[in-house]
Chains A and B, each alone.
Chain A
Amino acid sequence: MKPAPFTYARPADWPAALALLAEGARPVAGGQSLGPMLNLRLALPERVADLRHLPGYAGVSMQGETVRIGAGTTHAAIEDGVVPGRLGEILAGVARRIAYRPVRNRGTIGGSFAHADPAADWCAVLPALPGHAIALGPEGERRIPLAEFVLGVFETALRGDELLRAIELSALPPATHFGHWKFCRKPGEFSKATACVLATPGAAPTAVLAALDAAPLVIADASALLADPTAEAARLVATLALEDPWRAALARTALRHAAEAAR
């Protein structure tokens, strides 16, 4: 199969990219999600705007206790340790388990987050972390709390005229505990249930349950889950009223395992 015909643009700078967006172009970064959708004709955009080469799109910078990760930073770069400290360790552990190395070499944290596939790893982890998604629109940058970014399946808080520019995260103390668990039938497969629990000293623990065919469930205070993973996982999953008992069992298991690993 070949993609249906579309035109391809490489904007020279961010204003040009935003202008293309305003004209209805579909942004692409690493292309590891949009690429297959184009090739299989599941996505039929008239025009695609390539962001990958834009200045400052990839890369990590530190401003005090804040880490700014360019949206175009690849999973592989994160896996290989581009983010420093305990936060970097946690992110590297997540990145390492995304699909396969060729996908990680191209796929980007921002592209994945903005695409908002419910099974995507960053959608299952970033909402648990303290920080913001930095949206770039015609009026400049806008900060969206990470927990409020993914709104549904392939749906985010980005407005139609905005691009995801970066992820800003707070550095984490070395004693931070993190549990991350996902279920794949074979290595590299799309997850059928993902959960993570973040326990930062001095702050309320947070948790995310994802790969639900819906927006991720963000738990702003996961103290009860950490205290009694089995019971609280069951209670939380019951509130979702999942139809498929197997998926419900997986979701409970994911939360429980993530919580146990974060204790």
Chain B
Amino acid sequence: MTSLLLNGAATQVAAAPETRLSAALRDECGLTGTKVGCDAGDCGACTVLLDGAQVCACLVPLAQAEGRAVTTVEGLAATPQGAALQAAFHSHGAAQCGICTPGMLMAATELLAATPNPDEAQVQAALGGVLCRCTGYRAIIKAVLTLSTAAPPPPGAVGDSIPRLDGLPKLDGSERFGADDAPADALWLRPIRSPHAHARFSIGDASHLPARLLTAADIPGRNGFGIYPDIKDQAVFAEGLARYRGDCVAALVGERAAVEAVRWEDLPITWQELPPLTAATAPGAAPLHPRWPDNILTTGRLRSGETAPPAAHTAQGQWTTGFVEHAYIEPEAGWAERHGDTIHVHGCTQAPYMDRDEVAAVLGIPLDNVRIIPSACGGGFGGKLDVSFQPMVAVAAWLTGRPVRAVWSRGESLASSTKRHPASIHATAACDAAGRLTSFEFTADYDTGAYASWGPTVAGRVPVHCMGPYRVPYVRSQARAVLTNNPPSGAFRGFGVPQAAIAQEMLWDQLADATGLDRLEFRVLNALREGDTTNTGQHLRHSVGLVECLEALRPHWHTLRAQRRTTGRLRGGVGVACMWYGIGNTGMPNPSTMRLTLAPDGRLTFHNGAVDIGQGSTTVLAQIAAEALGLPVSALHMVLYDTALTADAGKTSASRQTFVSGRAAQAAGAALRGEILRRANAGPDARLTLSDGTLRVNNEPLRLDTTLEGTGSYDPPTVPLDADGQGIPYATYGFAAQLAALEVDLDLGTIHLQKIVAAHDVGRAINPLLVRGQVEGGIAQGIGLALMEEYLPGRTENLHDYLIPTIGDVPDIETILIEAREPLGPFGAKGIGEPALVPTAPAILSAIRDATGATLRRVPALPHRVLEAIRGH
């Protein structure tokens, strides 16, 4: 028994003395506000105060807390300073998904106790041990520095920066993520994964184990899942052949202690290691899957223009990028429970309706017998679109009749989850003497790893986007998704476009220099404008705000360029890059449906099936629905994403929720408003109010005898691409341009970022606070892609070898919002989730080139690569 003063109360904890304090708090004391992200002191999600000092609770044995004061996020609101800090986080948008928020708050509490008025450097030093993958840290710094909530928030009309409606539980520890909630009697499931990139295996008698060993033979239905309806190539439990390090071959299910005590060497599995496929496209290479004999999963192409106009200058180059990990701070976690012939699956996900389809097929039961109930999602970024734990816990719960839960460890999450595709790109571009682009040719192989996942999507998106948002009369592009024995590459914020944008923008810099044009003006000259036709043959009639983005950057461009150091060891550079990004699926349906109801008792309910993974869709969609209805956001009760309670709003990906689900929400609001006005016999401009359970139309109470309903659906109008990549792949596009200012240490090859200015055409900012949060967070991930992130299977399976940006790595960011209204979008809005990330890496590489003259050919631009590039220049 260990005695603690826990959040001010004397508490006895019965756990063993060596129990990690984080586990004791969560499992014994029920205080799940303290999160677990790595169990290695790398992520800081479990930061608590021990006698007022911040510590990683995963590295403190319970016995070391004997007699000490332990303060967790649950105890924060009791102090005025804690409450002020929570309020400041809320009003500044410092919590997005919320998984790092408790750790951030605790670290800030230690700082403020000793230093009530810290400066920015002190905040960065004090909070440096807590990683955040959503916010880009700038809003967190601002919240700690100001500790104020500024003015009272506006009411929540479209265009108002209101704090997120689902924000408060993220600040007091009450939010429930995938690992925070499960029945007390749940069994535990522990996957058994291949330690080899390629191996045959056989599983012998497991009856000696203290837990049940589930294998492929136990799958009641289809032992396969995958994003595409016709490609279910990834097994829940592999059958005799493991195709990547991390491939799941079996799972232990049983009481927690029994499952956790099983040692690797106790498992009755024999492995026969095979050489991993390295040159997958070499003639005669063995096929990874019989279905794709040449190991080429798909090839996407685009042909536009018959002949290229005469060119005065050409530029060409090759670029390679590495695997990039999503590194959401919440590892995959959830649980399942069987209810008769129905299965309920709870946990973190970006795609509940796709999860439902997969679970139903794996169990061999009808769709209606599967209910997916998403927990809060501690970051996704594309990595929680594919199923992970869902089919496994569903099978285990189905077979055992007991609730079954699973929580991936950090190492397991890194090894098993999808990654950003490594790309190997060759591109050539040309322009005339005046700097007008004449041609662009692009070929790329994207390493899609061992299974298809989103490989076809990447191969589809890249040829359409790879010339960037520019007028190019002649384009030939091709992207292949190539199967290898690497981790499956999947969806990651940008679907291959961020990699392609590096090549495209680096070529523009070379051509601008060749023509003697300023690099920013070169982009203005060639930028797509309203009225232009894209290389897929799509006429862009509206909402092309790229030139405005570049013009908004121009004064910053000149100022930053004038300020940069051009002599000495630290050499300044300023880079610029643009991007466009098609919102929604590529030439394929992706409908959303939203529903509003008004009950006779006046209860107004918004049924919203779009999963908010931290980006803010719950708030934005409510703002849209309320505005369309004509009532304030505060009047809405929420029923959020649950496949049994909400209509299909598709997946949270492709930057589609604001645009697609937003249009559906707008339509639902308008439909309910129409119902109300019809009943009240009122005109379209009638004013609605709702108070004390009574709806008033132009101040006249409207009595209801039945529940009124407004349903809205939207599927963006697209035309599938033909074999030459011609069609209307997306209904609308986001546009952006970013500047990066940095210094390169010529001795060390290190990069110090000084400032990023981001101008984004979002059509309309429904909630500018949340849009800025997306931009800052996307930029932080772009910094990671450009400068530090490279996943190496078996070598970087933790967060101290796999580096993501810390609070000390993200510079001042200035966000400029351009609103070139999209008539199809809700109140003119488009999407922002992915566009935020795309231009950052090319802008950084452009700045390195400006500083040193060296063109980086490989990202991340690690110091030794920067030095090589400088010295080879």
Q: How far is it, in angstroms, between the C-alpha of A75 and the C-alpha of B598 when the chains are bound?
A: 60
Partner of A189, one of B124, B800, B867: B800
What interface size band does chain B fall in?
35 or more
A253 contacts which chain B residues (CB < 8 A)?
A: 747-748
B-facing mask of A213-254, CB < 8 A → 1, else 0? 000000000000000000000000000000000100110010
User: Is the beta-carbon distance between A48 and B44 smaller than 8 angstroms?
Assistant: no
Total A residues in contact with B, Cβ cutoff 8 Å: 39
User: Is the beta-carbon distance between A100 and B40 smaller than 8 angstroms?
Assistant: no
Q: How far is it, in angstroms, between the C-alpha of A4 and the C-alpha of B260 when the chains are bound?
A: 8
User: Is the beta-carbon distance between B125 and A35 smaller than 8 angstroms?
Assistant: no
Q: With A52-B64, A185-B863, A188-B129 in contact, is A103–B803 under 8 Å at CB?
A: no
User: Is the beta-carbon distance between B18 and A6 smaller than 8 angstroms?
Assistant: yes
Q: Which of A4, A40, A52, A105 has most chain B Cβ within 10 Å? A: A105
A50 close to chain B: CB less than 8 A: yes
A124 close to chain B: CB less than 8 A: no
Chain A, Cβ-Cβ closest to B56: A102
User: Is the beta-carbon distance between B44 and A35 smaller than 8 angstroms?
Assistant: no
Partner of B39, one of A10, A39, A106, A187: A39
Partner of A105, one of B54, B63, B260, B863: B54
Partner of A103, one of B18, B56, B807: B56
A203 close to chain B: CB less than 8 A: no
CB distance from B6 to the nearest CB of A (A): 18
User: Is the beta-carbon distance between A39 and B64 smaller than 8 angstroms?
Assistant: no
User: Is the beta-carbon distance between A31 and B260 smaller than 8 angstroms?
Assistant: no
User: Is the beta-carbon distance between A102 and B64 smaller than 8 angstroms?
Assistant: no
Q: With A4-B263, A8-B18, A102-B55 in contact, is A183–B61 under 8 Å at CB?
A: no
Q: With A186-B805, A186-B808, A187-B806 in contact, is A102–B107 under 8 Å at CB?
A: yes
Partner of B862, one of A2, A53, A185: A185
A-facing mask of B584-600, CB < 8 A → 1, else 0? 00000000000000000
User: Is the beta-carbon distance between A2 and B260 smaller than 8 angstroms?
Assistant: yes
CB distance from B579 to the nearest CB of A (A): 25
A198 close to chain B: CB less than 8 A: no
Q: How far is it, in angstroms, between the C-alpha of A183 and the C-alpha of B864 when the chains are bound?
A: 12
Interface set, chain A 1-39, CB cutoff 8 A to B: 1-8, 10, 28, 31-32, 35-36, 39
A76 close to chain B: CB less than 8 A: yes
Partner of A183, one of B47, B55, B58, B748: B748
CB distance from B341 to the nearest CB of A (A): 35
Partner of B129, one of A6, A50, A103, A186: A103
User: Is the beta-carbon distance between A188 and B806 smaller than 8 angstroms?
Assistant: yes
User: Is the beta-carbon distance between A100 and B17 smaller than 8 angstroms?
Assistant: no
Chain B, Cβ-Cβ closest to A250: B748
A177 contacts which chain B residues (CB < 8 A)?
A: none
Chain A, Cβ-Cβ closest to B51: A105
A249 contacts which chain B residues (CB < 8 A)?
A: 864, 867
B493 close to chain A: CB less than 8 A: no
A106 contacts which chain B residues (CB < 8 A)?
A: 55-56, 59-60
B118 close to chain A: CB less than 8 A: no
CB distance from A106 to the nearest CB of B (A): 5
CB distance from B649 to the nearest CB of A (A): 35
A188 contacts which chain B residues (CB < 8 A)?
A: 128-129, 806, 808
A101 close to chain B: CB less than 8 A: yes
User: Is the beta-carbon distance between A50 and B56 smaller than 8 angstroms?
Assistant: no
Chain A, Cβ-Cβ closest to B805: A186
CB distance from B46 to the nearest CB of A (A): 9
Q: How far is it, in angstroms, between the C-alpha of A162 and the C-alpha of B23 when the chains are bound?
A: 32
Interface set, chain B 834-869, CB cutoff 8 A to A: 862-864, 867
B750 contacts which chain A residues (CB < 8 A)?
A: 185
A99 close to chain B: CB less than 8 A: yes
Residues of A bordering B, CB below 8 Å:
1-8, 10, 28, 31-32, 35-36, 39-40, 48, 50, 52-53, 76, 99-103, 105-106, 183, 185-190, 246, 249-250, 253
10 contacts between A and B (CB under 8 A): A2-B39, A35-B58, A76-B53, A101-B107, A101-B125, A101-B126, A102-B44, A102-B56, A102-B129, A186-B803
Residues of B bordering A, CB below 8 Å:
16-18, 20, 23, 39-42, 44, 47, 50, 53-56, 58-61, 63-64, 66, 107, 110, 124-126, 128-129, 260-261, 263, 409-412, 747-748, 750, 788, 798, 800, 803, 805-809, 862-864, 867
Q: Which 4 A-B pairs have the closest CB atoms?
A: A100-B129, A8-B18, A35-B59, A187-B808
